[in-house]
Copies of this chain bind each other. A is one copy, B any other.
Amino acid sequence: ETPWRWPLKAEEYDRYGRQIILPGFGTDGQLRLRASRVLLVGAGGLGCPAAAYLAGAGIGRIGIVDGDVVEASNLHRQIAHSTSRVGVFKAESLIAHLRDLNPLVQYTAYTTHLTPQNAEEIVSQYDLVLDCTDHPTSRYLISDTCVLLEKPLVSASALRTDGQLIVLNAPVGSQGSMKGGPCYRCVFPVPPPAESLTSCGEGGVLGPAVGTMGVLQAGEAIKVLLKGKGWLESEVEDVRPSLMLFSSPLLGGVSMRTVRMRGRRKDCFACGEGSKLSLASLKDGSTDYVAFCGGKGGATVNVL
């Protein structure tokens, strides 16, 4: 019998052939995805579609963090869960769907919320993070952890009929350096006052609006992984990412607008020159995310 001489297995060529033939993708791209580990924080309206397209594309390992259980009110937009799994942890419910979609991927469920105490342990096992959560508290925590562990972060959000998307820490740069992309705090240094926050429960959300954002998030994650470490020196300096603004009003068509954001902030609390943020300070609780975000959060966080 002739030994198999190809970098991918036959079933992988079969399953991924339609993306491998894309110009600029190739077998190398597929190998890169297979060697990658991606963490999704939040298995809700963003996490469901994002995880499905990442699993479909053949990411090597996918981790899902979510401490909530599936509720019927989630199902209009959280399309990888199901009525028969109401009451099941979302991280496990989502993985049940993903495992049947693509059994070649390795999956890990974390049936807990991300906390300053468990963040390092979990995030350190992955190469890229998707923020699919729904509260500033978790958004700042995820970003800080990604700065400290030098992970690129694909951050999306949605409310009502609008959505936003930005790729942060890409390329990654070390804390205190001005090289690399900005972090969440560089772009949004001060959280909005708690009283201005509208949650999905209060404000409502259109399924296809949050769904579009989740699918786009998967697309941006795939691109960051395909690019790998292939950044030109010029692309590492003064990185000004695009913020994508999406809108799908009930009485009009869809629109998408791209705006240019600032680069790294020299005095950024997390990634700036004199930053005191460390894995130790994260864990010992000296950064109080709930207080920083105006005292709301924690127990009331519901992932869309």
Which A residues lie at the B interface, using CB under 8 A?
11, 14-25, 49, 52-53, 55-58, 72-73, 75-84, 100-103, 160-161, 165, 167, 200-209, 211-212, 215-216, 218-220, 222-223, 226-227, 242, 244, 246, 248, 250-251, 253-256, 258
Contact = CB atoms under 8 A, between A and B. Distances in A.
Given A52-B79, A56-B78, 19 more contacts: A20-B204, A21-B202, A21-B203, A22-B250, A23-B160, A25-B206, A25-B250, A49-B215, A75-B101, A82-B100, A206-B222, A208-B216, A211-B218, A212-B215, A212-B216, A220-B253, A223-B250, A242-B253, A256-B256
A222 B251 CA distance: 11
A85 to B, nearest CB: 8
B56 A83 contact: no
Contact of A15 (B56, B75, B211): B75
Contacts of A79: 49, 52-53, 55-56, 80, 101
Contacts of A57: 76, 207
Nearest to A29: B250
A219 B226 contact: no
Copies, count: 2
10 contacts: A19-B205, A49-B79, A57-B207, A165-B254, A208-B218, A208-B222, A212-B215, A212-B216, A220-B254, A223-B250
A25 B203 CA distance: 12
A18 B258 contact: no
Nearest to A217: B208
Contact of A244 (B53, B80, B202, B254): B254
A241 B78 CA distance: 30
Most buried by B among A77, A100, A206: A206
A73 B17 contact: yes
Contacts of A52: 79
A22 B206 CA distance: 8
